[in-house]
Structures are given as C-alpha cells and as structure tokens.
Chain A
Amino acid sequence: MTILHVDNVRKTYGGNSYALDGVSFSVEKGEFVAIIGPSGAGKSTLLRCVNRLIFVTSGEVSVNGIAVTGLSNPSLRRLRRTIGMIFQHYNLVNRLTVLENVLHGRLGYKSTIAGTCGFYTASEKNRAYEILHAVGLHEHIYKRCDQLSGGQKQRVGIARALIQDPTLMLCDEPIASLDPSAAKIVMDTLRDINTRLGITVVANLHQVHVARDYATRIIGVNNGRVIYDGLPKDLTIDIIQKIYGSEAHDLILADGDTHGTH
C-alpha cells in the first residue's frame, strides 16, 4: 500500500532558484526511508511539503491517497493528525509540562474550545502516560520541558507524535542536536516504532552511517533533485560523492565514526 506519493514536486521561495526541482518518489507502508543530502539540498523543504507546512509551487503530494494541495482547512487538519512530525530542535512548548506537551498531539482530534483551553479526557491522559512509559519518561510527566535533556525532549516529541496515532512519521534531523548515546536511544525508538507499530518513517538525516544502519531505503538529494533512490547496501562511495559534492570528503572520513559530519 502506498502511504506517500510525491509527484514531480517543485518549490521556489521566489527568485529563480528551486529548493525542490522535480522530485518524485513513492513510499510503501512499513518502509523506513532516510533522506540524505548536503546542507541546503532541500530536505526540510521536502518534508514540509508533505503535510503542507509549505505549499508546493507545482506538482502534487498525496498521503494515503489524498492529494494535499487542494485540501480545505478542516480536511487538512484531518490529514495532518495522521502524520506525526518531530524536529531537530524538538519544538516543544517549554513552559508546559511533559504531559501537556504530549497531549498536544491530540489537538487535531479535539473541538476548538476544548483544545484551546487544554481540556483532555481521562482516557487521553492515560494514553499519554502509557506512551511516556514506553519511551521511558514516566518519571518526568509533571516536569516542565525546559528541565529536560535534549534526548529526553526528543522522546517527548516522539510521544507527542505517537499519540496522534499516525500512519506516517516525518523526522527533520531528529538527532542533529544530540550526543551519540542520546542519538542512539532516539534512533532505536524510531526503529521500534517502525517495526513494531508498523508506522512508516521518513527521516532527514545528516549522517550517512546512521542512515545506513537504520533505514530500509535511502533517498539522496542534492540541489533539489533526487540523485539516488535505493537500498542502503547499494550506496557506494561514488554515489555519496555525487550526493554531497565537496562535503563528501569529510563524510567519507567520518563514515563509521559515531560523530557524523559536524
């Protein structure tokens, strides 16, 4: 079953350069897709076109068979609540507690009034607690998020996405701000979500070796175009060089090393 279909998508932010320049691919249910590419390649733009945080300039994106460009606001909300998203900088509301942040994942299912005032049902709260248990944060539910470490914040972000009951999970550089051990916990959690819950994962990753270790498929992007789309094991040094251009040298040196490319 096709979860995500991207068809000849172009995106320009004005001017005559394209952040995305005719990108096409499909993702089947259960895949773990890593999108790799140098800084400015268009990875974040591509991910945001999927849930229409960014409007495509031309082309079409469909999620679960629904074309996103023509959706009305209520339908867009209904679609977005089936797509979880996590971010490099976690994007939590720091002044609120862990539990409140996780419950934000239910907003798409709630009435405007209940959501605005933060009224959640007992079963929603219990569900949030269960998920926090699963990601190992059950001891911190009433802590304010600014008191957590980066790795813990990212797990709150994952919990917030999971409570949406998503069919697709978008991850924009989920480990780029984490140290290697926290990064490993987050990546293992994502793999767990993918294999055990059957949620399709599409993740922008900066480190080629992480992509190789976790993904079932790698898409290499450079300058708004797909350069490579295939299995991790077929990703040769030549192709990495083509994807990363001048950055490739550092990457190949760093490959296999847990610190990645920064």
Chain B
Amino acid sequence: MHVPTPHTPLPRRPFDRSSFVLSATLAILAVLTIYGFTTFDTNGVDMDMALDMLGDNAKTLFFAPGLSNVTIEGLLKNLGVTVALGFLTTVLGAVIGMVFALASALNLAPVWLSVVVKAFTAVVRAIPTVLWVLIFAVSAGLGSVAAVLGMTFHSAGYLIKAYAESFEEVDAGSIEALKASGADWWQVVGQVFIPSSRAALMSWTFLRFEINFSTAIAMGAAAGAGGIGFDMFMASGFYLNLREMGAFTYAILIFAVLLEYVATKLHTKTMQG
C-alpha cells in the first residue's frame, strides 16, 4: 500500500459546484455591503449626535424601564390576554391537529385519505399566519376574532403534520400485535399510538405554544387583537414612551425565558423516552 510521506503534496480538492456558488454569493454580498456603506446619504444627519441619541435611547429602554400610561396590573392583565390568545389558538389547533393527524398518518389511514389531508395541510402551512389573519379579517373584521381564527388555522396545519409524523414513527410490531389479539382501530390508537408518541406530541404542542405566544404579540398590534402587543404599539407609535417600551420588553422577556425553561424540561423528558 502507498503511504503518503510528508513530502507528498496534498491533492487539491476537486471543483465543487455548490461550494463555488456559496463563495461567489458571499463575495458579492460583501462587495454590495461595503458599496452600500459608502453611498449612505448622511448629509442631513450629524453622525456623532445620532449615535449619542441611539445610546441614550437604548439606555432608557433597557436601564430605566417604567410605567406611566399603564398600571402594573394593566400590564399583567394585557400580558395575560396575549398568553391567552396564544394558549387558546394552540389548544384549538391541537384538537383539530389530532383529528386530522389520525386521518393522515400512513399507518392509521388509507393512502388516498392521507394524501388528501397532507396536500391540504401543506397549502395551509405555506400561507403565513399573518396572511390567514388578514384573510379571516375580510369576513370577521380586523380584531381578536380574525386573530383567533387565523392563528388557529395555521397552528392546526402545523400540528397535523407534526403529530402525523410522530404517529408514523410508532413501532409497526406493537400495532400488529394488538390487531392480532382482536383490538379495534380506536383501541390501537389509545393503547399503542398515544402512549408511544405522548412525549413527542407534548413537545410539539409546547413548541407551537411558544410560536403562538410571539405571534400573539405581533397580532395585538397588527390586527388590533389587544394584549401586550397593542400596548407596545401605543407606547412606541403613539406616546413615544421608551421607558414603557422597556417595561413591556422585560415582561415579555421574562415570560419567554420561562417558556423556554419548561420547553427544555419537556424536551429532556422526551429524549429520555
């Protein structure tokens, strides 16, 4: 066998189309970025003052949060409204998701039904949540009803796919064993599918709750659904109150960290089985 000595030159890496495209893209982006900086129109702006103000604003936002137009009870209540919007749409989405996942997992449903449901949910998922809310706003008017409908719709589409994939991973042997002992379809669902995929189902549902929470903040402002998102919209766009913005941001941050903590706990449990 030929053993390469230290003097043997390393063979050149063969030309690789995809890595070439990647480097070319990066190079073009770098050139454009530098070009962009040089062509900024900073005539009317005093850069020193602007940077100063930016620093000041950031300081106010993050180091001097406070409430003026809203009381602390008001803030908590509106945070509650946003959480409730996220929670409600997740629960509704989970119920619808479960029903249609049973109809679309290949080891539970006939192929034609599975194909139909999967194609339909792919379309639902392809349209972003905000668009669904706007679509429902046509008939329900912009507001909480449209937000609930639109967010539920997209959550359902997402959870149908997630649940169905969890179901499809269930061991075919145990399904066969229960069928062989005379169990019917529902009994197999309740005794094999649910226990075998429970951890995954919970994990997916919680992940969707996190997504829905942040969507609910945006919908509060964008769709007038109320809650802390609407408060932020008022504080920033209407009162120009940075200290209040800071308070809202912290409230959301604390809640998000809490969610993340629970999600990680759940995930670890899933991994353990």
Contact = CB atoms under 8 A, between A and B. Distances in A.
7 contacts: A77-B183, A81-B181, A84-B181, A87-B177, A91-B173, A112-B187, A117-B190
A105 B187 CA distance: 12
A112 B174 contact: no
Interface centre among B176, B178, B192, B196 (most CB of A within 10 A): B178
Given A91-B174, A93-B195, A160 B190 contact: no
B16 interface: no
A22 B182 CA distance: 27
A85 B181 contact: yes
A213 interface: no
Contacts of B198: 95
A93 B181 contact: no
Given A85-B177, A91-B173, A93-B196, A116 B190 contact: yes
A53 B179 contact: yes
Nearest to A47: B180
B174 A107 contact: no
What does DSSP make chain B's interface, helix, strand, loop or mixed?
A: helix
A117 B186 CA distance: 9
A71 to B, nearest CB: 12
Contacts of A107: 178, 181-184, 187, 191
Nearest to B198: A95
Given A107-B191, A115-B191, 20 more contacts: A53-B176, A73-B184, A77-B182, A78-B182, A85-B181, A87-B176, A91-B177, A95-B198, A104-B178, A104-B183, A107-B182, A107-B183, A108-B182, A112-B184, A112-B186, A115-B186, A115-B187, A146-B273, A160-B181, A161-B181
A161 B181 CA distance: 7
Interface centre among B184, B186, B198 (most CB of A within 10 A): B184
Nearest to A84: B181
Nearest to B194: A116
Instruction: Please give me the 7 A-B residue pairs with the lowest Cβ-Cβ distance, nearest first.
Output: A108-B182, A116-B190, A81-B182, A91-B173, A91-B177, A107-B183, A115-B187
Interface in B183-210: 183-184, 186-187, 189-192, 195-196, 198
A115 B190 contact: yes
B195 A96 contact: yes
Contact of A105 (B171, B174, B181, B273): B181
A219 interface: no
A201 B267 CA distance: 44
Contacts of B177: 85, 87, 91-92, 104, 157, 160
Interface of B: 171, 173-174, 176-184, 186-187, 189-192, 195-196, 198, 273
A83 interface: yes
Given A115-B187, A115-B190, A104 B195 contact: no
A94 B174 CA distance: 9
A164 interface: yes
A160 B182 CA distance: 12
Interface in A137-187: 146, 157, 160-161, 164, 170
A110 B187 contact: yes
Contact of B196 (A87, A95, A108, A110): A95
Contact of A116 (B173, B179, B191, B273): B191
Contacts of A116: 186-187, 189-191
A112 B190 CA distance: 10
A212 interface: no
A160 B183 CA distance: 13
A80 B195 contact: no
B173 to A, nearest CB: 4
A77 B184 contact: yes
Interface string A53-82: 100000000000000000001000111110
A116 B196 CA distance: 14
Contacts of B189: 116
B174 A115 contact: no
Contacts of B181: 80-81, 84-85, 104-105, 107-108, 160-161, 164
A13 interface: no
